[in-house]
Structure 1
């Protein structure tokens, strides 16, 4: 039992919730099932799960609200949204409220399990690389801070995610389409413009060290040089 992964499932459809719960429990998960947003927050505080699977449309508090409240105190817990919505804006809203991934209903249990394990592995890697040296900067992913000498600046969740992926591919090309789909949900024109804005913000934050550059590789992506 102690080796089981603690997972909070917030799903207000009883039949679907029970199916997902039982399926996950056969795969070494210990599942806590909540049927609305307020109950999800109560269960989260009591059980301290390792991963969250949140339905977007729930009574009392929706999944976005639950994620946003949890993100105020926990920046690293993996969050997957379950949604029947397919609009790009809804997907973007999910990421902006702290989601790491999303699944559109109907979905297969195999896909959900693969995505949960992928996020858990990714968080494990990030924890092992909590403090990342970039030239004369220290980037703390967990605390979302960027420090230069004795000055520390707080990054937004999106800025921290983008800088982490750039640092993972330091001196190599970070594929533009990959990062757009990963952080914005799609690689359409409007999301690409949004990412360009975030790149500009990171460039301004890093300009104190002239040895660091974020280069635009036209048609391919970005390269963090340091």
Structure 2
């Protein structure tokens, strides 16, 4: 079908993997099911999926290691982590290495599908976005690159790019913390709030070459970008 989404699912729990595969296939998905990280990496290279759904705990190669290897060669494909972990450090690590979203087990197939569609649609939208100017920087959302004057471009992660895009779109206005957490992460719980703080700090560092650009923390409300 024309609207079919090609999805690579890496899940070592055979029963769960098969259930997810069959459920997704009844909803117009083409699913490539892999039982370990090594197989997932090979299928990623040969099958050209549109999105990756990776279990964090897998044999041979865990989801985080797999995501790092893929991000080294592909900055655009969306990645969702499936995890039984709820430790803040694990969630932050997942986002920091280039993950776009995560789902804690157990989860509903409907929730997974909504998140997949949101990420795939967002990725398609990025490809048509023009270069945005902010202070002395040029921001290319499609390539996820930030360039200061005539210097070499800085490669941003998915999350950094999306967060910067929304900050720029709301320049000189307070970007509501809960709103952006729900929009980009799908939830505004403690773990994602901590993750966003990490990404805000990274963006401040990336933009620090232009002293006029600031990302201000408006306590109790959110963040405001000024230039």
TM range (shorter): 0.7 to 0.9
Task: Report what 1:33 is aligned to.
Answer: 33
Residues 179, 13 of structure 1: alpha-carbon distance in 2 compared, 3 angstrom cutoff:
same
Does the 8 Å contact 2:57/2:63 carry over to 1?
A: yes
1:1-226 to structure 2, matched below 5 A, reads 1-157=1-157, 159-179=160-180, 182=184, 185-188=191-194, 194-195=198-199, 197-207=201-211, 210=212, 212-226=213-227
Does the 8 Å contact 1:75/1:142 carry over to 2?
A: no
Inter-partner Cα distance in structure 1 for 2:216 and 2:197? 16
Question: Unaligned stretches of 5+ in structure 2?
Answer: none
Tell me how many residue pairs correspond in the alignment: 221
Q: 46-55 vs 162-171, which deviates more? A: 162-171
**TM-score normalised according to structure 1 size:** 0.86
Q: Deviations over 1:1-23 (max 9, x none)?
A: 45311000011111111110011
* Cα offset, 1:146, TM superposition: 2.0
Does the 8 Å contact 2:79/2:101 carry over to 1?
A: yes
Inter-partner Cα distance in structure 2 for 1:185 and 1:11? 23
Q: Deviations over 1:25-67 (max 9, x none)?
A: 1111100000100000011011100000011111100011111
Q: Any idea what SS the aligned residue of 2:116 has?
A: helix
Residues 94, 193 of structure 1: alpha-carbon distance in 2 compared, 3 angstrom cutoff:
closer
Q: Any idea what SS the aligned residue of 2:153 has?
A: strand
Question: Unaligned stretches of 5+ in structure 1?
Answer: none
Does the 8 Å contact 1:54/1:63 carry over to 2?
A: yes
Residues 75, 111 of structure 1: alpha-carbon distance in 2 compared, 3 angstrom cutoff:
same
* Cα offset, 1:87, TM superposition: 1.1
Inter-partner Cα distance in structure 2 for 1:91 and 1:45? 26
Does the 8 Å contact 1:65/1:97 carry over to 2?
A: no
**TM-score normalised according to structure 2 size:** 0.86
Q: 191-200 vs 7-16, which deviates more? A: 191-200
Residues 192, 145 of structure 1: alpha-carbon distance in 2 compared, 3 angstrom cutoff:
closer
Inter-partner Cα distance in structure 2 for 1:72 and 1:142? 17
RMSD over aligned CA atoms reads: 2.4
Residues 107, 124 of structure 1: alpha-carbon distance in 2 compared, 3 angstrom cutoff:
same
Residues 215, 87 of structure 1: alpha-carbon distance in 2 compared, 3 angstrom cutoff:
closer
Q: Any idea what SS the aligned residue of 1:152 has?
A: coil
